[in-house]
Chains A and B, each alone.
Chain A
Amino acid sequence: MRLFNETYNLLKKEIILEWRSKYAFNGVLLYIVSTVFICYISFNLNPGFKSSQGYPIVWNILFWIIMLFASVNAIAKSFMQESKARLLYYYTIARPQAIILSKTIYNAMLMGLLSILALLVYMLFFTNTVGDLFFYFITVLIGSISFSTVFTMISAIASKAGNNGTLMAILSFPVIIPVILLLIKVSKAAMDGIDRGHSYGTIGVLVAINVIVITTSLILFPFLWRD
């Protein structure tokens, strides 16, 4: 029960801090919009792209790659912005599980909101070809939650090891590749409007990966947080 209270209070603190500055939210949103716009201009330099056969495949994969890089950038900050003194203060008032859990939940909420906005912006520029729009939405939400769980733990490790962007990419990409492969598979099925029943197995594997990652971060973070 104390864990729940601590997590709740830390989460509230994260949201209030973000609400006051809106730095991460606006920054990542601008990042996504600019990337989408760059992709839009670049692809439309080639006439006949929209009517080409590979358009739906590019549509789907491009969206996930934009989301991947946006979430690496957004979540890498989650431990960087904390000053040493503030971390020291957390050690005295909360337990490590509450800290990692609140960060993960906060990142999942932030990424969930951002990915839905990103999808709307993306659909504005790139003509929508999705068959089962509701299921695609659900997949995007599951995807942003999966990105958050993995990247939060990795950014905790990377922040202890000099905090550079290279390390974050090296450490997180092998872990995220299976997740993104599964996501592309499910979202492609949603695009083609294939019966939802075929994708439940893959979603089950995604949920299982998330459970494994959250459990290992809850077990391992207590060893990581103190220097």
Chain B
Amino acid sequence: MKFIYQTWWKVLAVVLIFYTLTAGFLIGVPRLPILHETIRNTYFHVPMWIAMFTVFTISVVYSIRYLQSGKEEHDLIAVECVNTGLFFFALGLVTGMLWAKYAWGEYWSNDPKQNSAAIAFLLYCAYLVLRNSIDEEQKRGKISAIYNIFAFPIMVVLIMVLPRLTDSLHPGNGGNPAFGKLDMDNRMRIVLYPAFIAWALIAVWIATLRYRIRLIEFKKNAIN
């Protein structure tokens, strides 16, 4: 746990964010029909999902550890990671919708990828409602950890697997090209991959800050 109190990775995150912001807007991109300059949204839309997956994965790991150890801290990490993940989930949806307005013509066009992302959002909102419905702390921690572990594979199936099986307009689904195939060249890769790392680190940073606040509250309320 020492990792979360160190400075170097936070500096790295900030530096990388500024690099991707400037390079993302200045470095040339391949000229493609329909997409044109909107392809730059890749630098902002996809990293949101990478960030979300990072914190949700951490959350599941700590839910499993909570079931093994029963330590309240692990439950706090799990819930704060889900809170942060939901924030990035919303950002991912919004950046996708803005892009869809220009590329597809509508903010919400009943696309399988959009629909199943919305369902997965409901799945994690239900996690927070479930937490609020139980008063007893240990019971709440245990049941919400179980639901979190149950929800994660379903979220992966919803977002990663199901849209690939249907005719989605989303790049990478329904036979559409995505990274590494037609529309991505090395100029984009040198911006995109650092952006993945940067936003994932930012998400972890936000989650650790929230966790540390919760930890202070938890220690203050504890009966010695």
Contacts and interface: CB of A to CB of B under 8 A. Distances in A.
Interface of A: 153, 157, 160-162, 164, 167, 170-171, 173-175, 177-178, 201-202, 205, 209, 212, 216-217, 219-220, 223-224, 227
Contacts, number: 67
A178 B143 contact: no
Contacts of A217: 150
Given A178-B119, A209-B157, A220 B149 contact: yes
Contacts of B67: 223
Contact of B129 (A167, A177, A224, A227): A167
Contacts of A153: 150
Most chain-B CB neighbours within 10 Å: which of A153, A162, A174? A174
B126 A224 contact: no
Given A167-B129, A167-B133, A173-B122, A178 B157 contact: yes
B180 interface: no
Contact of B146 (A170, A173, A220): A220
A154 to B, nearest CB: 8
Interface residues on B, range: 20 to 34
Interface string B130-158: 10011000010011011101110110011
B116 A216 contact: no
A157 B146 contact: yes
Contact of B123 (A157, A174, A212, A224): A174
B147 to A, nearest CB: 6
> Which 7 A-B pairs rank lowest in CB-CB distance, beginning with the nearest?
A174-B123, A174-B122, A170-B126, A220-B146, A223-B67, A177-B119, A161-B134
Given A157-B130, A167-B130, A174 B119 contact: yes
Nearest to A150: B154
B165 interface: yes
B16 interface: no
Given A201-B165, A216-B149, A224-B142, A178 B130 contact: no
A162 B119 contact: no
Nearest to A156: B146
Most chain-A CB neighbours within 10 Å: which of B67, B142, B145, B154? B154
Given A157-B147, A212-B153, A227 B139 contact: yes
A157 B143 contact: yes
B209 interface: no
A212 B120 contact: no
A212 B154 CA distance: 9
Contacts of A175: 123, 151, 154
B129 A170 contact: yes
A202 B149 CA distance: 25
A170 B122 CA distance: 8
20 contacts: A160-B143, A161-B133, A162-B134, A167-B130, A167-B133, A170-B130, A171-B130, A173-B122, A174-B122, A175-B154, A202-B165, A212-B153, A216-B149, A219-B149, A220-B146, A220-B149, A220-B150, A223-B142, A224-B142, A227-B139
Contacts of B158: 178
Given A162-B133, A205-B165, A223-B142, A174 B149 contact: no
